[in-house]
């Protein structure tokens, strides 16, 4: 099973980091996690395309994680090889309403395309599954388990556990979404080969005297907390992802060194298109 960081960015635009998103490929299945800005450009750079996706998973409905859901919907719908197919979107309660509103946003474009192309006779077909916990996807030897995490006022927020069966090489990965330490996160990450966690640098954030920025400390794991979760869960590889704020080039090592005070396994600092195998 391969876990690819498509976008490692945060809400602040960054020339080097697309918005939060990931791709998990295992056996015959592939799923997209979140759809931050630029996700389809990064998906193409990873050598993958929307028609190859079996599902789209949303961790929560913060805008930086959902900005390009409309692009995913439109691109899936207009590609000839997806004609007659349904796009599957899985996310927390509220996802159906979000998708319905996205389709309202796209209504003018949908009308233009139906008027212009004879083979497009109706709008996008989307199947939404709202989840909080439990198995939410099974295909091609890949099993995905959702679980509630704690993202403060953003309720509900969920993380995902990916389990590949032995027929496709085995392996377990956890994608935390945005969260502070909590029992739900511990359960999702337990024994994972790859653990991808949004991480906030408390020292850097605290140095900026803007309350709206300081508020981000309320609902993101900081470096120490994320590393402690990794250690508690007994993971193999801890990926520092979605850094808040994005570090200046050349300073990433300081984040890794701080995490290493709590976790003695492999620690990677995410960049766009970083791919980590569970095997």
68 is catalytic: no
- List the structure tokens of 174: 């956890």
Exposed e or buried b per residue across 48-60, where buried means at least 16 C-beta atoms within 10 angstroms of its C-beta: bbbeebbbbbbbb
Catalytic: which of 2, 14, 34, 64?
64
Cα–Cα distance for residue pair 36/62, rounded to 1 Å: 10
Going by C-alpha positions, the residue among 13, 15, 17 that lies closest to residue 242 is 17
Cα–Cα distances (Å) from 197 to 59, 70, 153, 156, 214, in that order, read 12, 25, 19, 17, 20
47: left (phi over 0), alpha (psi -120 to 50) or beta: left
Based on C-alpha coordinates, what's the Rg of the chain? 18
CB 199 within 8 A of CB 242: yes
Residues that are catalytic: 64
């Amino acid at each position: 099973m391969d876990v690819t960081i498509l976008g490692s960015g945060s809400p602040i635009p960054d020339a080097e980091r697309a918005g939060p998103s990931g791709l998990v490929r295992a056996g015959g299945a592939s799923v997209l996690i979140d759809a931050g800005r630029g996700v389809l450009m990064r998906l193409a750079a990873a050598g993958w395309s929307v028609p190859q996706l079996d599902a789209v998973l949303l961790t929560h409905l913060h805008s930086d994680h959902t900005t390009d859901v409309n692009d995913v919907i439109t691109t899936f719908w207009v590609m000839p090889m997806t004609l007659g197919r349904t796009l599957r979107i899985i996310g927390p309660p509220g996802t159906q309403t979000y998708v319905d509103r996205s389709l309202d946003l796209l209504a003018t474009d949908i009308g233009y395309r139906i008027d212009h192309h004879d083979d497009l006779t109706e709008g996008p077909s989307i199947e939404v599954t709202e989840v909080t916990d439990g198995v939410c996807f099974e295909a091609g030897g890949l099993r995905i388990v959702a679980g509630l995490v704690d993202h403060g006022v953003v309720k509900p927020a969920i993380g995902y556990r990916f389990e590949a069966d032995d027929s496709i090489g085995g392996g377990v990965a956890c994608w935390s979404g945005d969260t502070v330490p909590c029992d739900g996160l511990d359960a999702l990450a337990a024994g994972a080969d790859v653990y991808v966690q949004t991480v906030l640098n408390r020292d850097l954030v605290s140095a900026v005297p803007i309350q709206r920025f300081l508020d981000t400390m309320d609902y993101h794991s900081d470096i120490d907390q994320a590393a402690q979760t990794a250690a508690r869960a007994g993971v193999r590889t801890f990926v520092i992802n979605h850094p808040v704020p994005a570090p200046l080039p050349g300073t990433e090592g300081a984040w890794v060194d701080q995490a290493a005070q709590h976790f003695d396994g492999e620690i990677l600092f995410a960049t766009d298109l970083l791919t980590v195998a569970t095997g």
